[in-house]
């Protein structure tokens, strides 16, 4: 299957003898196995989000939208009162605290609960369709901007570095940063992709590389620690990453290791681009200092495949994200256009591209 046709999150109506479900591609078993997990309870959905069965801010947002419907269906089966239903929806909303899309999408769908399941599902479906359209739009905007600035007047293909997974698996389809890369490839303007393996769970090696291989896009997988050297040796024309939350001043939370890529790009004088839908822009968060950084289990860095790799006395420090200062973000591309954040075009300041998520 062409990976751009994948849908990480799908609502599945109940069969005659079963419950409705949120169908998720299980990203914990890729690249070796492509299988779907049918989630029928709030417990199951929260667990799937925490375990990274579904991951990527837009995909988590879509799961959150359908999670409201899932809670309603479970509540009907089990006779929940309204207080219990609200508490279960709160659990979905809080499953991962850094990615703002989850909260935005739950909050968008939740007011329709009193109008019934059909209204909730229609709004959740709209979130998915809007994200898919947004990904294609930002892919075009991002490719235009890069080709105009990196190789003006030339038709040479670009060498792009990316970190973590930002493709169809992380979104409603196509991708954010990987959507820009796909657009460059479609235009015949992509030489190769350097995909950071992305510690500690290897989303780059397992997921990004798998998506690129599905479409025959040339790429190299490299250790996260190799990224800065690859950039400083002049082997990269630009870096493109996604985001889990973008503050009003342009500070950007993304998968841990991103800020090191941005620092290397700044030193090398090449673009560092963030690609994300406007639902990821959180104008209520003034700066990166106000972004909650999720700390994950110590075992993810102290063990490998369940086997202890660090001394018994060692403690693990495992932040899931880091924050890149807006001063290092050369360009922020959304479905509405590009802002050159490091040059002062901030998300929270009016300009040519309105980044307020209120209309999304």
Instruction: Give the helix ranges, DSSP H, for the chain.
Output: 42-50, 57-78, 82-93, 100-109, 117-150, 177-186, 203, 209-214, 227-232, 258-268, 299-302
Place of tokens 């229609």: 122
Residue 354 CA: distances (Å) to CA of 151, 166, 347: 27, 23, 8
Between CA 262 and CA 280 the distance in angstroms is 19
- Residue from 237, 244, 251, 282 carrying the catalytic annotation: 244
Burial of 287 (0-12, 13-18, 19+ CB in 10 A): middle
Place of tokens 């409201």: 68
Closest CA to 124 of 142, 104, 138: 104
Assigned token pair, 235: 């082997």
Whether 244 is catalytic is: yes
> In this structure, are residues 4 and 168 in contact, taking their beta carbons and an 8 Å threshold?
yes
Place of tokens 């050159």: 340
The full length of the chain comes to 360
Cβ within 8 Å of residue 39, ≥6 positions away: 21, 22, 23, 24, 45, 48, 70
Cβ within 8 Å of residue 213, ≥6 positions away: 31, 219
Assigned token pair, 53: 């069965």
> In this structure, are residues 121 and 11 in contact, taking their beta carbons and an 8 Å threshold?
yes
27: helix, strand or coil: coil
Q: Give the residue numbers marked as catalytic.
A: 244
């Amino acid at each position: 299957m062409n990976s751009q046709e994948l849908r990480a999150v799908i609502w599945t109506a109940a069969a005659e003898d079963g419950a409705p479900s949120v169908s998720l591609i299980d990203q914990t078993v890729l690249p070796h196995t492509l299988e779907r997990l049918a989630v029928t309870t709030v417990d199951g959905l929260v667990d799937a989000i925490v375990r990274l069965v579904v991951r990527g801010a837009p995909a988590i947002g879509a799961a959150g939208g359908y999670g409201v419907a899932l809670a309603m269906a479970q509540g009907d089966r089990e006779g929940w009162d309204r207080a219990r239903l609200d508490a279960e929806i709160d659990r979905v909303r809080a499953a991962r605290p850094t990615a703002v899309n989850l909260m935005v999408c739950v909050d968008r769908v939740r007011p329709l609960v009193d109008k019934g399941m059909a209204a909730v599902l229609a709004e959740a479906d709209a979130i998915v369709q809007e994200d898919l359209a947004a990904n294609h739009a930002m892919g075009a905007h991002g490719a235009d901007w890069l080709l105009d600035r990196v190789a003006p007047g030339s038709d040479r293909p670009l060498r792009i570095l990316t970190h973590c997974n930002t493709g169809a698996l992380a979104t409603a389809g196509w991708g954010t940063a990987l959507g820009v890369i796909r657009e460059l490839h479609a235009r015949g303007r992509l030489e190769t992709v350097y995909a950071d393996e992305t510690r500690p769970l290897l989303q780059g090696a397992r997921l990004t590389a798998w998506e690129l291989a599905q479409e025959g896009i040339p790429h190299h997988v490299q250790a996260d620690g190799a990224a800065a050297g690859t950039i400083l040796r002049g082997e990269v024309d630009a870096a493109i990453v996604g985001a889990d939350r973008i503050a009003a001043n342009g500070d950007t939370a993304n998968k841990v290791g991103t800020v090191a890529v941005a620092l290397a790009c700044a030193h090398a004088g090449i673009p560092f681009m963030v690609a994300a839908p406007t639902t990821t822009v959180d104008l209520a968060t003034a700066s990166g200092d106000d972004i909650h950084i999720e700390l994950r289990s110590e075992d993810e860095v102290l063990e490998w495949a369940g086997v202890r790799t660090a001394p018994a006395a060692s403690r693990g420090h495992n932040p899931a994200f880091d924050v890149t200062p807006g001063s290092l973000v050369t360009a922020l591309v959304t479905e509405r256009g590009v802002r050159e954040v490091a040059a002062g075009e901030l998300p929270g300041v009016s300009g040519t591209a309105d980044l307020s998520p209120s209309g999304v």
